[in-house]
Copies of this chain bind each other. A is one copy, B any other.
Amino acid sequence: MATELARLGVRARAAVKSISTSSSAARDQALLAAADLLVAGSATLLRANRADLDRARANDLGAAALDRLALDEGRIESMAAGLRGVATLADPVGEVVDGWVRPNGLRVQRVRVPLGVVGIIYENRPNVTSDAAGLCLKSGNVAFLRGSSSALESNRAVVAILREALVKAGLAADGVLLVEDTSHETALEFMRLRGVIDCLIPRAGRQLIELLLEHGTVPYVLDGDGNCHVYVDRSADLEMATDIVLNAKTQRPGVCNAAETLLVHRDVARRFLPAVARALDGVELRGDPEVCAILPGTTPATDDDFATEFLGPCLSVAVVDDIAAAIAHIDRYGSGHSEAIVTGDVGAADTFVREVDAAAVLVNASTRFVDGGELGLGAEVGISTQKLHARGPMGVRELTCTKWVVRGEGQVRQ
């Protein structure tokens, strides 16, 4: 007997043709209708959200988690604005990526097409429901969503609105589907729906990623950790370096593109470290022996500190002999997310850009810019830390694949 999830999977596949072959206009119409319906239905949404919040408080959810879960009129307006923004993006579907004519006259093109069914596992922010579904719809994909139990009522209400908008635009309601069973067993079953899910994006904790690596069979794109570094070269403008370190560490410390380690060239360490320590007031520094010698009273850093994504007001700091040592440190401890150099030396900049193996390398700019919106993708569905398919911020284009289209006049192979 098919499980409830398997039945949902059949519905998702059945909706693929309606969504993937729909016109750009119909998909945009659905996005705009969903935005209007979210605002118009805010009373219903807030009621559902209140039920989730009451349950969450009864379950002693922490303050940060409660904040992420909570909706208000402003947040609903933001969700609607997000959908309207996605509607204004260029449609990635149908783009001819490249093409040529073969000597035998065959006309060859690679054309961008939707993936089909995109599965997303996420945690308790209800706005992810509309954000993710909007990006899937824009790119011609069915959104198969599995949110957290804490946000179930809110997610149901958002999904009901999205489905209503799809129908208004003449598209299959099943273009957006919510998995309401949030058990661990169902998460496992979800990541084994090979043939149903064309791409799974887990926006969730490390435990779920481990489960996916060990037991998942569907294709996936990992949105991993960011242990990001800022390297201050000997030739750096030290004021610029202070601004960048301060921004990278403190502008929003709880996110993956925040800096976790500062590396300083030996030649400027005595001048730079006291200045940056003053600027980083309120941030705990954990230093290697040389840092501790220059900044007495600094907590000594352990090897673990350099490997840790603090996601809070803590920064590990090391002095390095040269750019090669900085790159070697990043090779060893980095997670391949975002790595920055501050330098005035064009050779150092080029070496860093060439040799650091990460989704994004930045020269004289804050790591905080590694974000789909900031880099110009309009919106992002996540930041990939893997190399295959997509790397770094993923926009609507990363929710597509290509299809070879070959046209001839009867050619056969010799």
Contact = CB atoms under 8 A, between A and B. Distances in A.
Interface of A: 16-17, 20-21, 100, 102, 106, 108, 113, 115-116, 194, 198-199, 213-214, 217, 219, 221, 237, 240, 243-244, 246-248, 251, 349, 353-355, 357-366, 368-370, 374-376, 386-389, 391-393, 401-413
Contact of A360 (B17, B362, B406): B406
Given A411-B369, A413-B368, A388 B219 contact: yes
Contacts of A404: 359-361, 370, 375, 391-393
Stoichiometry, copies per complex: 2
Given A360-B404, A388-B389, 19 more contacts: A21-B354, A21-B355, A108-B375, A116-B357, A199-B387, A214-B217, A244-B410, A247-B412, A247-B413, A359-B404, A361-B404, A362-B406, A362-B407, A363-B408, A364-B410, A365-B412, A366-B411, A370-B406, A392-B403
A342 B366 CA distance: 55
Contact of A412 (B243, B349, B363, B375): B243
Contacts of A407: 349, 362-365
A413 B369 contact: yes
A248 to B, nearest CB: 8
Nearest to A218: B213
A6 to B, nearest CB: 18
Given A376-B108, A411-B365, A413-B369, A391 B402 contact: yes
Contacts of A358: 403
A385 to B, nearest CB: 11
B359 A403 contact: yes
A407 B244 CA distance: 13
A408 B361 CA distance: 11
A408 B102 contact: no
Contacts of A408: 362-365, 369
A376 B408 CA distance: 15
Contacts of A240: 409-410
Contacts of A402: 391-392
**At the interface, is chain A mostly helix, strand, loop or mixed?**
mixed
Nearest to A331: B17
A199 B388 contact: yes
Contacts of A113: 357
A189 to B, nearest CB: 15
Nearest to A212: B217
A85 to B, nearest CB: 16
A412 B194 contact: no
Contact of A406 (B115, B198, B369): B369
Contacts of A102: 374-376
Contacts of A375: 102, 106, 108, 404, 406
Nearest to A387: B401
Contact of A17 (B16, B108, B355, B411): B355
Contacts of A361: 403-406
A355 B100 CA distance: 22
Nearest to A408: B365
Nearest to A361: B405
Given A366-B411, A404-B375, A410-B244, A387 B219 contact: yes
Nearest to A198: B387
A31 to B, nearest CB: 22
A259 to B, nearest CB: 12
12 contacts: A106-B369, A194-B213, A248-B412, A353-B405, A362-B408, A363-B406, A364-B407, A365-B406, A365-B407, A366-B411, A366-B412, A369-B406
